[in-house]
Amino acid sequence: MLDFVSKFTNKELKFYKLNNKYFLASPELDKCRLDNKEQYFGLFLGEDINDEFKPAFGLLDWLSKNSTEKIFVKDIGEMDFLYGKSLRSRHILRVEGETKIGFLKLVQNEHDENLGYGKITGDFTKTQQVLKPKLDRGLFLKREKKDKQLSSESKR
Amino acid sequence: MSFLTDRYKEMGGEVKFVHSKRCIRVNTKKISVEALKTRLEKKHIELEKVPFLKNAFFVKSKFNIVSSPEYLLGLFYIQDAASQIPGEVLNPKSLTLDMCAAPGSKTTQLCEKVPVVAVDSNKDRIIALENNLERLGIDNCIAYLLDAREVNKKFDYILLDAPCSGNYILEDGWLKKTTLKRIEERSYLQKELISKAISLLNKDGVLVYSTCSLEPEEDEFVIQFALENFNVKLEKIDCIGDNGLTKIFGKKLDPSMKYCKRLWPYKTNTIGFFVARLRKC
């Protein structure tokens, strides 16, 4: 996880690790734990799946307060990005930090709220497609659809 | 005609189908009520403040609000107005136990005020809880895949939104398939859960018990059981709905049962609901 964080900021992030999952929690919350094994603890930061770290939106929110590696998008870019589409030059309001191809950027809407992150794929001044999504909040819709299926199956 | 129809008449209610108005709760951990209102109205979503709730709106929209960026950003939660009442009635001031937490509508509501220990014994449903905690950016909840009857810590505030048989607004064909046996099975489990909840309460601690059932066996009879077997008293609730029943099916119940509230869908434009606030003496 720290490798991923270091691509955006050098600020320190203290975390708890429960099995393969990472969480950010206050010392006060730590005192509230039961004797049992936790399923979820504070803010979910991400998890290791097959030796690869998968960030969660809690971490992207934290990073967006602690990093300048951001792309700000217009309304139309916000919708397209949330539907898994690549960002184009016309979607962009402004860019902060690195602009080289291959770098990771946090994608923010005009309210500076994090929508996900992606990888720079083009020159912001020359090419049309500039960023390919790696993770976007549209994922919640897919998860909810899956949850509903599981729930109706368990009823049956 | 279902056997339930006659029962409802005896309770002073009736089976009348209504569409409960679509309702959202503002996630005040992320945005203020006014700021969200402004943003959604800009997108031509009609909002009407729910008069009996603090942070809720009835919504009308030409598109599905679930696909809006504001939903995906966790700025609001779609939650029936009745289902928001227990969280407001509990009004916790410190660490709270949510005993049957998944999928997390009430848990995330409580987390806006205090840290929450959330337990649920259903593996599939707890995945939905985790998903909601992540979407809403909740950072003060500890969730356990655990039967609430196995919790071993004391609390000042507990929410028991008990598993129940449901009501006719929630599910097509509910009246046809619901049996007295099913209601009694739920009632047995609810009595076990409320017993455990009271044992986990500190002295002067508050327990809010709720269900989305309109059946007295799952509502007033469970509270009567608690009043008869434990050192608890009912407290008045300031919310919409009819008073709890003090006499039903030939049984006379504790007079303080009137402090409970039962929400008939056709009277409140919500799902059917029951809520009670108990304090440990």
Q: pLDDT for A102-127, tens place per residue?
A: 999 999 999 999 999 999 999 888 77
The answer on A134 and A81 residing in a single domain is yes
pLDDT of residue B1: 64
The alpha-carbon gap from A114 to the nearest alpha carbon of chain B, in Å, equals 8
Q: Is A59 on the interface with B (CB under 8 A)?
A: no
Compute the count of residue pairs across chains A and B with CB atoms less than 8 Å apart. Answer: 98
d(CA B8, CA B213): 12
Q: Which of B111, B212, B239, B260 is catalytic?
A: B212
* Chain A (88-127) residues lying within 8 Å, Cβ to Cβ, of chain B: 109, 113, 115
User: Residue A121 domain-assigned?
Assistant: yes
Q: Is B163 on the interface with A (CB under 8 A)?
A: no
**pLDDT over 90 at A4, yes or no:** yes
In contact, B176 and B2? CB cutoff 8 Å: yes
Please indicate whether, in this complex, the C-beta atoms of B140 and A37 are within 8 angstroms of each other: no
User: Residue A116 domain-assigned?
Assistant: yes
Boundaries of domain holding A122: 68-139
Q: Where in chain B is the domain with CATH 3.30.70.1170?
A: 21-79
User: Residue A151 domain-assigned?
Assistant: no
**pLDDT over 90 at A156, yes or no:** no
The alpha-carbon gap from B142 to the nearest alpha carbon of chain A, in Å, equals 4
The answer on A74 and A44 residing in a single domain is no
Q: Is A30 on the interface with B (CB under 8 A)?
A: no
User: Residue A8 domain-assigned?
Assistant: yes
The answer on A74 and A50 residing in a single domain is no
d(CA A60, CA A53): 13
Q: What CATH number does the domain containing A125 carry?
A: 2.30.130.10
* Residue A149: band (very low, low, confident or very high) from pLDDT cuts 50, 70, 90: low
d(CA B141, CA B114): 9
**pLDDT over 80 at A150, yes or no:** no
Please indicate whether, in this complex, the C-beta atoms of A24 and B139 are within 8 angstroms of each other: yes
As a whole number, the mean pLDDT across chain A is: 92
> Scanning every residue of chain B, which has its alpha carbon at the shortest distance from the alpha carbon of A152?
B124
Residues in contact with A12: Cβ distance below 8 Å, sequence separation at least 6, in sequence order:
none
* Closest Cβ–Cβ partner in B72, B126, B145 for A82: B72
Higher pLDDT, A151 or B47: B47
The answer on A76 and A129 residing in a single domain is yes
Q: How many domains does chain A have?
A: 2
The answer on A34 and A49 residing in a single domain is yes
The answer on A77 and A31 residing in a single domain is no
In contact, B220 and B260? CB cutoff 8 Å: yes
> Scanning every residue of chain B, which has its alpha carbon at the shortest distance from the alpha carbon of A80?
B69
The answer on A79 and A58 residing in a single domain is no
User: Residue A120 domain-assigned?
Assistant: yes
The answer on A74 and A92 residing in a single domain is yes
What residues of chain B score a pLDDT lower than 50?
A: none
Q: Where in chain B is the domain with CATH 3.40.50.150?
A: 3-12+81-280
A43 vs B contacts (CB less than 8 Å) = 137-139
The answer on A134 and A92 residing in a single domain is yes
A39 vs B contacts (CB less than 8 Å) = 126, 130, 143-145
Q: Is A35 on the interface with B (CB under 8 A)?
A: yes
Write out pLDDT tens, residues B14-23: 888 888 789 9
**pLDDT over 80 at A151, yes or no:** no
The answer on A121 and A72 residing in a single domain is yes
Domain boundary among A42, A62, A82: A62
User: Residue A144 domain-assigned?
Assistant: no
And the tokens for A114?
């994090």
In contact, B38 and B191? CB cutoff 8 Å: no
**pLDDT over 90 at A145, yes or no:** no
Rounded percentage of chain A residues whose pLDDT exceeds 90: 85
User: Residue A109 domain-assigned?
Assistant: yes
Q: In 3D, which of B277, B240, B273 has the Cα closest to residue B259?
A: B277
* Chain B (171-230) residues lying within 8 Å, Cβ to Cβ, of chain A: none
B72 vs A contacts (CB less than 8 Å) = 82, 115, 137-138, 140-141
Q: How many CB atoms are located within 10 Å of the residue A23 CB?
A: 23
For residue B220, CA distances in Å to B213, B216, B259 come to 11, 5, 11
* B23 in catalytic set: no
The answer on A57 and A73 residing in a single domain is no
The answer on A76 and A54 residing in a single domain is no
Kindly state which CATH superfamily the domain B3-12+81-280 is placed in: Vaccinia Virus protein VP39 (3.40.50.150)
pLDDT of residue A155: 42
pLDDT of residue A127: 74
Please indicate whether, in this complex, the C-beta atoms of B153 and A34 are within 8 angstroms of each other: yes
What is the β-pairing status of strands A87-88 and A52-55?
Answer: unpaired
> ipTM > 0.90?
yes
Over residues A56-81, the mean pLDDT reads 96
Q: Is B47 on the interface with A (CB under 8 A)?
A: no
pLDDT of residue A125: 82
Q: In 3D, which of B54, B116, B119, B47 has the Cα closest to residue B85?
A: B54
CATH number of B21-79: 3.30.70.1170
